[in-house]
Amino acid sequence: MTKEEFRKLTENILILDGATGSNLMASGMPRGICTETWVIDHKDIIQDLQRAYIQAGSQVIYAPTFGGNSINLEKHGLRDKIEEINRTLVGYSKELAGSGIYVAGDITTSGSFITADGDYTYTEAYNMYQEQIRILADAGIDLIAAETMINIEETLAAVDAAASVCDLPIMCTMTVEADGSIFSGGNAVEAAVSLEAAGADAVGINCSVGPDQLVSVVRNIKENVSIPVIAKPNAGMPVINEKGNAVYSMNAEEFAHHMKVLIENGASVVGGCCGTTPSFIKALHDTIR
């Protein structure tokens, strides 16, 4: 997909997929393991989930490459498997993507903060993203999704790295508090403005809180950028049950209702994060189509 094709695609509401991680855990994935290798060993589970998202109305599915960067894989002793892991996972998603369905290469934070005197530098972030994005692009993704980002500088490194290895569109979403503040400092509007200037093709928020708490954040981002605004929030706020699992507060219909409000306030690229399932995406699709 070219950047111009992405721009045209987002002239109408573009529907992304919903959660991956929370659904994998519901399907039996243990905590504390390397998600990417578990998914490789459970191809049927990830493909059943992504197939359900497509049937529900998703136009973009995220390849399960979220933690497929060198820093995360190193923690699991899998640094030397980075190309094999990313290529295999993109292949799983591409097998399902028919006409009008696009596969996003999913990337995320290293978990570290770039600071002036820190151990983690812009150059290290740039190199990490450059390596993974080059593999994803070669594997045939249609666009890039940098999601659940917690540091503006690191996200800028991802945008710069993407531009250095390919011409694919890149969507960037920060995880924020209800007031728009970012965990490492700054806020969603500052991030959106900086990312647009750096060359991002769409900006916004994912994960964070429920859609009911993000109206002003989405509106403020929309008022300050000229590119599409993304909203991919959680299914409300979670509570932890007696088994230690997160249970989210919204059902599919409530989620879709609040997502429609976010669209009315400027979001045009929409989906769901933690706690959402294909039924949430279907309710969202049916509400806005």
Annotated binding-site positions for Zn(2+): 207, 273-274
**What DSSP letter does each residue of 224-284 carry, written as one string?**
H-SS-EEEEE-SS-EEE-TTS-EEES--HHHHHHHHHHHHHTTEEEE---TT--HHHHHHH
Closest CA to 274 of 220, 222, 211, 182: 211
Binding-site positions read 207, 273-274
Q: For residue 179, how far is the Cα from the chain centroid?
A: 20
Q: Is the separation of the CB atoms in 99 and 40 below 8 Å?
A: no
**What does the alpha-carbon distance between residue 125 and residue 20 come to, in Å, rounded to a whole number?**
24
Residue carrying structure tokens 């594997």: 139
